[in-house]
Amino acid sequence: MRIAVCGGVYSNPYALASFCEDARARGAQRLYCLGDLGGYGAEPEPVWPLLTDNDVVCVAGNYDVAIAAGGADCGCGYRDPRDQQYAQIMYDHTLAHTSRRFAAWMGELPTERRETIHGCEVHFVHGSPLANNDFWWESLPDEAHAARVASSGADVILATHSGLPWIRRFGQTLVVNVGVIGRPANDGTPRVCYALLDIDHGRAAPRLVSLAYDWRAQARSMREAGLPEAFVSTNETGWWTTCLEILPTEERSRGRYHVYDSSVPELLTATGHPGPWPDPDPHLPVRPLVGSPLFPSRVWVEKSVGRAPALLAGAAAAGIAEVRELDDAHGADPDTMALPELTLGEKGWRWHYGDGAAPLDPTEGGQPVGREDVAGAVRAVVRSLLAQLQTSGTLTPPRYCVG
């Protein structure tokens, strides 16, 4: 038995139509959706006939519960006012453009579903077995995963809500966050994600499918509806531009944008750096750490690592504009080191501050950097910076909603 499972349609009928077609073409015998039918996009109503015409079995997400009740907000579980501000824009649009008949249909959906498929007990949830709006991130500590797995007891747990896909096994339990099809996974591509599972004799084999769809049509529809450019940009580029504060440092470091524009004055004050911190795109409410006074727009690599094409491509993907090879005899040239400089090498990373002020504790460490993984090294350094900013109280650490 092959099943296809999506989540987070987010008023994106173009992606939902592609999901149904793609899943059937890949031999899926049953189609499921884990909820959040509205939000984000402009057109919630056309999602309804696509679900019913394609026999997609649905559970209700926090969005669907809220829309059915005509609630004041989406109940997404955001804690930062800037995250909530954008969530409210999406919710108000969805509520105003969803018929009460569709809302009533959503109100009839269960918020979870258990089904035995070929000897395998499958638990379909929206957030996690703990709560409908629980953000089940891959980077949660082991004990947090264990608590969620234990509260289900099923062989397979399928979730969405956080928007970022992952697959893990915890003992005998398989957990798949199927991602969402309404917006990309903060990975720099407009493609979206769903999961296929082959279930046979009590065993399930999962895989994540990267789904191409007509994202231009979705972007056009959002612009015509007057939705914020920050939302449209995400569908076009694949990078998240809102709802950053809820992301754990691990997931946040993987994106292009790391802080809200409104955090910049506090960040400069807290780190004692005068700035400036240029804003690469004034149309977006966010900006990257890379290229800021806290993080160089170029890196140095040790000679032993070298400027291989794969390394240069990885650096570009991480937003690094320039890679220079370190002269082992002389090190980085102090005259060019007004900004903090970063050296990546086989033993990890090192900071060089030159005459500039050290903006943060110059922690060294990380994994050895080879020819293929400079993007991973940059993410690790960004993660370390974000963690320091959170520890110092300059950025708010995310708090996860479990009801």
Provide the minimum distance between the beta carbon of 91 and Fe ion in the complex, in angstroms, as a whole number: 11
Scanning the structure block, which residue is given the tokens 């004034």? 282
Query: Could you list the residues that contact Fe ion (CB under 5 A)?
Result: 36, 61-62, 161
Rounded to an integer, what distance in angstroms lies between the CA atom of residue 386 and that of residue 175? Answer: 28
Provide the minimum distance between the beta carbon of 57 and Fe ion in the complex, in angstroms, as a whole number: 18
Q: By C-beta, is 1 or 69 nearer to Fe ion?
A: 69
Radius of gyration, CA atoms only, the chain = 22
Q: By C-beta, is 162 or 292 nearer to Fe ion?
A: 162
Rounded to an integer, what distance in angstroms lies between the CA atom of residue 236 and that of residue 233? Answer: 5
Q: By C-beta, is 102 or 136 nearer to Fe ion?
A: 136
- 33 Cβ partners below 8 Å, 6+ apart? 5, 6, 7, 9, 51, 56, 57, 58, 59
Instruction: Tell me what percent of the chain is helix, strand and coil, each rounded to the nearest 5.
Output: 30, 20, 50
Provide the minimum distance between the beta carbon of 365 and Fe ion in the complex, in angstroms, as a whole number: 35
Provide the minimum distance between the beta carbon of 77 and Fe ion in the complex, in angstroms, as a whole number: 8
Chain residue whose CB lies nearest Fe ion: 161
Q: By C-beta, is 126 or 258 nearer to Fe ion?
A: 126
Q: By C-beta, is 73 or 198 nearer to Fe ion?
A: 73
| Alpha-carbon distances of 118 from 92, 122, 149, 225, 302, rounded to whole Å | 42, 10, 21, 45, 54
The two tokens of residue 342 are 């970063």
Half-sphere exposure of 80 toward its Cβ, with a 13 Å CA cutoff?
A: 19
Q: By C-beta, is 62 or 186 nearer to Fe ion?
A: 62
Provide the minimum distance between the beta carbon of 109 and Fe ion in the complex, in angstroms, as a whole number: 13
Q: Which residues pair with 229 in a beta bridge?
A: none
The two tokens of residue 269 are 């004050």
Rounded to an integer, what distance in angstroms lies between the CA atom of residue 347 and that of residue 268? Answer: 30
Rounded to an integer, what distance in angstroms lies between the CA atom of residue 239 and that of residue 66? Answer: 27
Provide the minimum distance between the beta carbon of 122 and Fe ion in the complex, in angstroms, as a whole number: 19
Q: By C-beta, is 95 or 320 nearer to Fe ion?
A: 95
Provide the minimum distance between the beta carbon of 36 and Fe ion in the complex, in angstroms, as a whole number: 4
